[in-house]
Amino acid sequence: MAEMGNKVKLNSGWLAARSTEVELTGTQLTTTHPPSITPSSPWMEAAVPGTVLGTLVKNKVVPDPFYGLANETIIDIADSGREYYTFWFFTTFQCKLSESQHLDLNFRAINYSAEVYINGHKKVLPKGMFRRHSLDVSEVLHPDGTNLLAVLVHPPDHPGRIPDKGGQGGDHEIGKDVAAQYVEGWDWMTPIRDRNTGIWDEVSISRTGPVKIIDPHLVSTFFDDYKRVYLHATIEIQNRSSWVADCSVKIQVTTELEGNICLVEHLQAQKVSVPAGSTIQYTYPQLYFYKPNLWWPNGMGKQYLYNVVISIDVDGFGESDSWSHDFGFRKIESHIDPTTGGRLFKVNGQPIFIRGGNWILSDGLLRLSEKRYHTDIKFHADMNFNMIRCWGGGLAERPEFYHYCDIYGLLVWQEFWITGDVDGRGDPKSNPDGPLDHDLFLLCARDTVKLLRNHPSLALWVGGNEQVPPLDINAALQDDLKLHPHFQVSSKNNQWMSVSSLTPEDPSEYLDGTRIYVQGSMWDGFADGKGNFTDGPYEIQYPENFFKDDFYKYGFNPEVGSVGMPVAATIRATMPPEGWQIPLVNKLPSGYVEEVPNPIWDYHKYIPYSKPGHVQSQIELYGSPKDLDDFCLKAQLANYIQYRALIEGWNSRMWKKYTGFLIWKTQNPWTGLRGQFYDHLLDQTAGFFGCRCAAEPIHVQLNLSTYRIEVVNTTSNEISGVAIEASVWDLEGMCPYFKVFEKLSLPPKQTLSIAEMEYPTYENSKPVYFLLLKLYEVSNDGIISRNFYWLHQSGGDYKKLEPYRKINVPIQVTSKVNVKGSSYEVRMNVQNNSKNAESSSLTYKNNFINSQGQGDLDSNSLLLENKEQTNEKCSTSFFSKIWRRRSIENNGSRLVETNGNDVGVAFFLHLEVHDSKAEENEEGDTRILPVRYSDNYFSLVPGEAMSINLSFEAPLGVTPKITLHGWNLSQSLSVC
């Protein structure tokens, strides 16, 4: 049990069994016959929070459904019947109450309905996947403090059947329930056999006195250009005693200073009397702040958070209940931009160009955890994204998800549980009027709003994916989520009218009132704004197409996607050997190439790197792949180019044609083979780093359609005193083109076209060449943005890169490791030691400037600060098996070199972290994951150096080894 204040999580010690195999009643289980695990009993260790299928996988009753074709061997609920996945869950907990105390048993979500037994007493939990349940169990607790709890969980009422041809949402029956709709399968996901039945979110007990706090609502209002701010707070107060409770309701606001010192900004107490057995709504007098630190999205500034604590003291009892939440002062506005027709978002009065991604959920078996959420959200921030869309066929995401979005500055578009594919569209057509129980849908929606509304990252509510909810539901949501007048009316210079002059209602008295509600993902400034299907495209593209005027004609694209092949190690880890076969290639009479994937890849929804009739194979451009490793490496080349070009194409038309885009999609909730920047095992693809490059707040880029150099400045500051260095490098390591564009000033919130690249028009231009662009400060040569391209002449290909693998470029790596417990932080300097007369540029060391909002893993960040506070060690085993020509160690640093003597670009270098002992024994997948890199899949021209930071956790007893791989490194280099 994890204890948090007056709440204790019940997150361990659970047992589970199939209901048809348990002959005892819930009363018997929680009184005379508590279950235990024996060889003859049906009981097993349960995954709580989690699902029935997650429990079965955990106990190896069924195989891992994400491995190969194993999901096909697991019986589907449509064939087994609902009883097969109806399960008992059982645990015990310790609790004794004092006089006037109460205990609530809380389920933050169950799918889909349940019967709860505690010490022989039964309570029924009604239907709905997205609703909280809180039961006052004070009267049924056992006198000795040991309490027995059993929960019988029933699957969704309409689990549906999977048609032979599959499709989006199976036969769509799941849409009749208020539940996640992806579980019947999609074009990126196979069916989840139990439809996510289970206690899938947090279970807890919470102890209070006679008075309980329910669903506080925090709202901030701004005046005088954000100098004057008011905090509003409304709570429900429930008196569960038989007497009038005279209370002192307190609110305290603190901010954290340096050194873990907290400053109390406000402390206020008010007297309130609550009648016996009643619930009242109480609104605090507004709290005034002058020039508070504001919360900004990723890339626009820091994410300042204040801690708000609300407590209630009852006369004659003491503190009865308390609640706390981190809160960010920020104002989100949006409107349809008249120039582009797209929805334009503003945060704290500043327009923000939306560059983000679509999110399904972390894991298809709902094995959700705070640690996994932390990694997921930090990965999105590392890619320089500023918005995540929680897609309507998935979840109402959990508070832990939002917590990390608050910390890392990811705005969240939260959708309700309606999708066009299931609700009235598709084949077969089903439930055109949405869920059968509209009242249940609205109850779940309102409860979700109350659960999430205090998070500053929450940006907007959306009725559904590519569909509008039924008329009555949509009208109710529009009314429930209408904006408070303060958030409707603004005038020049953000001079808002006082709240009291607009309405007598405090904004915190609204259900929300601070964020817009949009009825569907393709309405009101998204896609064509009218609900016509104008999402996408979702397939491979020629990189230059993203820049063309006819690629996408609407202002905000909520879904645009492409390929997402992981690395070869992930394929081997998630598929048997028959799944390691690369696609067969059919050359069509039209001249295009058709890929034919093996059945396992097809089952895992592989999306090809060619589109006959439209796009030639972006893998065959490099030559026909020889094996799995070769295929996946060439796929990474294509991934990097594809997603960098996608973002840079939108960058090029920022505000002129576009207000934003969301990539479909950023990750997979299973071992899928499409649309992802990191795989289900948490290893990043090269597309991750292509995104990270292209989405940086200040960015230099090449328009692949016009061949003009452009600079994108998404910040609110004018950037002056900067220059651009453009250099072209050929396969012989020579630099036939070098030019500096000086005396540049970059206006805020604009994309500036600088000049046309001249090299491709040269008489002796090479068929394949490299272009390196650097935007830097003239005063100190500090790099603001660096961008490396590999290019071919029009109509050409990259086949000349194949023999380029045989050159041997000398690489030098200096590394320093900092270890604290199981956490490793490594800083290394990687240098291309090949010499060339043209490689003497002052920017060759790549001393990066820490750009605003780019995260804590920038290449110039100091991971090794405060060394005296950490336990540094560089063990001999950690640096063992270095096979390079020279290896020295000095003051904790390590230097290794290759024996190369050729001159050229060190192309497509990438780092990996492995368990060195497992590698020696060749024990399957030896990668240590996840790892955060400041950059990866990078290239260095002759003489150039790059500082790379990485951090990871190594399991106990594991010896990490970091290796450097590259296109033209003859062998991997063990650098740490």
Q: Which residues are catalytic?
A: 466, 559
Among 587, 592, 484, 466, residue whose Cα is nearest residue 534: 466
With vertex at residue 140, the alpha carbon angle to CA 23 and CA 131, rounded to the nearest 5 degrees, is 80
Among 975, 327, 962, 386, residue whose Cα is nearest residue 647: 386
What spatial distance separates the first Cα and last Cα of the chain, rounded to whole Å? 39
Phi, psi angle pair for 790, to nearest 5°: -115, 130
SS3 of 759, please?
Answer: helix
Among 344, 350, 354, residue whose Cα is nearest residue 330: 350
Bridge partner residues of 725 (DSSP)? 740, 774
Distance CA 786, CA 702 (A): 11
Distance CA 791, CA 797 (A): 8
The first and second tokens of residue 146, run together, are 């040991």
Distance CA 181, CA 167 (A): 12
Distance CA 391, CA 535 (A): 13
User: What single-letter DSSP state applies at residue 685?
Assistant: P
The first and second tokens of residue 446, run together, are 């309102």
Among 206, 238, 219, residue whose Cα is nearest residue 312: 238
DSSP per-residue letters across 105-139: EEES--BSEEEEEETTEEEEE-S-SS--EEEE-GG
Burial of 591 (0-12, 13-18, 19+ CB in 10 A): exposed
Q: Position 336: which residue type? A: I
Distance CA 412, CA 58 (A): 32
Total Cβ atoms within 10 A of residue 689: 25
Distance CA 271, CA 929 (A): 53
Bridge partner residues of 728 (DSSP)? 737, 771
The first and second tokens of residue 522, run together, are 């393709």
User: What single-letter DSSP state applies at residue 686?
Assistant: H
Total Cβ atoms within 10 A of residue 68: 21
Do residues 823 and 926 touch, judged by C-beta distance below 8 A?
Answer: no
Distance CA 782, CA 768 (A): 29
Q: Position 394: which residue type? A: G
* Distance from the Cα of residue 840 to its chain's centroid: 41
Strand residues in 737-810 grouped as ranges (E): 737-746, 750-756, 768-777, 783-792
Bridge partner residues of 517 (DSSP)? 461
The first and second tokens of residue 954, run together, are 């190594």
The first and second tokens of residue 835, run together, are 């010499």
Phi, psi angle pair for 405, to nearest 5°: -65, -35
Among 85, 161, 172, residue whose Cα is nearest residue 435: 172
Among 409, 404, 513, residue whose Cα is nearest residue 453: 513
The overall longest dimension of the chain from CA atoms, in Å, is 94
Among 974, 785, 976, residue whose Cα is nearest residue 884: 974
Please name the helix (run of DSSP H) or strand (run of DSSP E) that holds residue 646, with its range, or none.
helix 628-652
User: What single-letter DSSP state applies at residue 683?
Assistant: P
SS3 of 832, please?
Answer: strand
Bridge partner residues of 820 (DSSP)? 823
